[in-house]
Structure 1
Amino acid sequence: MINSWRNLCLDNITFTSGDNFTHSFPFHFHEEYTVGVAVNGIQKFYFEGKSCFVEPHSIFLIKPYMMHSHHPIADLGWSFKSFYLSNDLMEYLLKETGMRRISDYPLVIKDQTLFKQYIRLYAAKLLPDEAVLADFIRQLLSKATQNPDRHKPGPPEEIAAVKRYLSEQFNQKLRLENIADIHRIDKYQLIRKFKQHLGVTPNTYLTILRIEKARKMINEGYSIVGAALEAGFYDQSHFHHSFLYYTGVTPGNFNKQH
């Protein structure tokens, strides 16, 4: 079971937790920075042809739009806690700490002191101390500088252009043939290059993007039907199953928690 809370005082930060969770998350991304910890159990991350294990008491940091999947090891599942930081807040803290950017790959840190700080911070999620949150992120970023600086080349410009187009037109009725024509690329070549660089097809990427948009809209007070329509879903059944598939919770249960 996944639970989530939104804190209006701290830049609308959303806190999420799952206990003995057995759901495997398919490839997806988030529009914000994800900062989480593994409490119990082990999960395996997959990202762009690579993989890593996240053991109990590990902290993980994932950049926005980083395509990844994660799966519990063994049938007992895993327990986790996470929160999502806005790009503006993270960019501010990056500048403050003198860092230009963080690794393009998931950052996994095993640090018992930071883990305990995270748990205390999470326990105060309804009445958190902004200074404590900022201090925790600063310490996490300082650990990031101690890891090898790993950056990957971005996708070709034609794929980056399609991503920008999908981000701008996500709530429109889009056809792959039209997208390919607009960007002067063969439809099948577009599918192949998209999968090569992002691990998913353009249609799957668009669905993930729409789910992220709908999740944010529900957070902001939209009705489930309204969020689905605004995000580009015109079939409520398709929206329900897609939301559950990518988030591990139904739109109705997610809405009740907010």
Structure 2
Amino acid sequence: MASESSRIVSAWRPAVPGVVEVFHARFTEYAYPMHVHDAWTLLIVDTGAVRYDLDRHEHGTPHDTVSLLPPHVPHNGSPVTPEGFRKRVLYLDGTHLGGDFIGAAVDRPDLRDPLLRRRVGQLHGTLGLPGEELEAESRLLFVGERLREHLRGGGPASQRPADPVLAGRLRELLDERIVEGVVLREAAGLLGAHPAHLVRTFSAAYGIAPHQYLTSLRVGRARRLLLEGRSPGDTAVAAGFYDQSHLTRHFRKLVGVPPGRYRAG
């Protein structure tokens, strides 16, 4: 039997619509028995590989594969080698993938797609950062679109043309909500547009994603507050950042120095 020391896990539920749970794990000896989930399971393996049975067929997850396991379908899982595996998992509700895709996912659960693999990895990186919900929501939308393309068995879905007027309306909304921010689905409801189309048309119009634009505005506000003598901690809250470390991460990236050094200079 595997010892508890052979299992290292972390799990949390981010404030991102559609994500039921984020689960990161490192297992060396542990094997999952047959079980089901009530959510979609989106799995990538960073080291090692996993062997599993789904619908009485054996499958595997080499490092360049994205595995998508549908809800309510029994599966198990075990390491392929004695060294075990390290995996990152997203459990998603039906917001991005409906029940119509369950049959296709049972038939083709393992997807060889480097772009999808990279996007899922980037999404995990964003989900681990408090205050980056707008970016995470945008990345999740495009992951969902890519998954649906695979499950349909066709090429990329047709995209609506860019809409400069819509992009301008989103820009005005972001300008009005620098501090409080806005989640993507709320913005889509207010502006009467699909969230993915909203991100695409804004990026096409301004050459920057909505979350990058909002972060730039917040850093600009933080610069002014710091020069007025506000402390980095007070500035972070007043400029719309989650906390001081959130401010520091983006401030250093856009300005080149941390807030305290900028203020002292």
TM-score, normalised on structure 1?
0.50
- Higher RCO (CA-CA < 8 Å; seq separation 6+): 1
TM-score, normalised on structure 2?
0.49
Give the structure with higher Rg (CA).
2
